[in-house]
Amino acid sequence: MRTLLSRCGIFFAFIAIALTSESLANTPLSRPDPLLIEYPEDEPPSWREIQLGKTLFFDPRLSHDHSRSCASCHNPELGFGDGLPLSPGSDGQPLGRHTPSIYNLAWGSVFFWDGRAATLEEQALMPIVAEAEMNLPMAVLQERLTAVAHYRNEFNAVYEEGLTEETIGRALASFMRAIVSDNSPFDRHLAGDKNALGPEAKRGLALFVGKGRCIECHSGANLTDDSFHNLGLGGDDPGRAEVVDAPHLRGAFKTPGLRNVTLSAPYMHDGSLPNLLSVLEFYNRGGGEGHNRSDLIQPLNLTQRDINDLLAFMGALESPILIKRPEIPR
């Protein structure tokens, strides 16, 4: 059974943080806590398992024509996105949704824009077999990997079961759980460094938890509620309603985390907003005009200085991760 690891057996959903004034105290903001990560079988992965997952993540063998890897869309040099509104699919046509960033998925509770995967292991395998994405049957992938001595040896060394569909998912998930951003200026501020944030970013933080109402959806260590909201962007995509029978969630998508958000433009589930300024202006005017918009989305009456300060705070969420690309085994 999978359990949640926590200090002294107690689960703290949020840590109350004393910020810079009484008005900001006790807000649901915290630093990522490695002791609150769920692992399969309650065991954190070994370094060898993480490295195996890393090699798989960058290996184009995972696509039907050897043309793309997981890293093709989740490029570490582009904030684990690809810089495109919509990535091209296996047929060269744009996919229906923007590539989400994958920072700090170790603390996630649901995955994909519509939340259709309940575990990171499930999520890791779905794009591989999806016809529109990597378009590779799992049986073919297992044959390909088994034909490579490096993979045979590593899977047998890491897993008692050897190379199976399940262990492929576990290896990929172990690497993705290791993609952790936790040393931004904001983190250092939460840890007590009074000089970590400049005056603009401090004002932006106050707006984030106050007038800007960002905290209503972007809370916790990863600045997401892992819930689903319709922003009024419109379009035909059913979003969460494609996964659950809930008409009120039609057009609703998962709140993305904001770690390294400055690195992952463009934004929204459809990639329709090119930069963070356009995102803040969108929220400031009360979102879009599409049907079924959430009641949470209301005009904010932010000034231009407010918007600039929020942009400064977004910059303080940046803590890039440098990853050396592995050598792909032959």
Binding residues for heme c, by number, are 70, 73-74, 214, 217-218
Phi-psi region for residue 58, left (φ > 0), alpha (ψ -120 to 50) or beta? alpha
Query: Binding site membership: which residues?
Result: 70, 73-74, 214, 217-218
Burial 208-241 (b: 16+ CB within 10 A, else e): bbeebbbbebbbbbbbbbbebbbbbbbeebebbb
Q: Are 235 and 226 in contact (CB under 8 A)?
A: no
| 90/237 Cα distance (integer angstroms) | 20
Q: Are 221 and 30 in contact (CB under 8 A)?
A: yes
Q: Are 204 and 309 in contact (CB under 8 A)?
A: yes
Hey, what are 62's tokens? Answer: 């995972």
Q: Computed from CA positions of residues 75, 269, 264, 118, in that sequence, does the dihedral angle turn out positive or negative? A: negative
Is 159 strand, coil or helix? Answer: coil
| 213/207 Cα distance (integer angstroms) | 7
Residue tagged active-site, from 43, 133, 200, 289? 133
Q: Are 113 and 100 in contact (CB under 8 A)?
A: yes
| 276/271 Cα distance (integer angstroms) | 12
For the question of residue 133 being annotated catalytic, the response is yes
* DSSP tag of 224: -
Q: Are 319 and 183 in contact (CB under 8 A)?
A: yes
Which residues are marked as active site?
A: 133
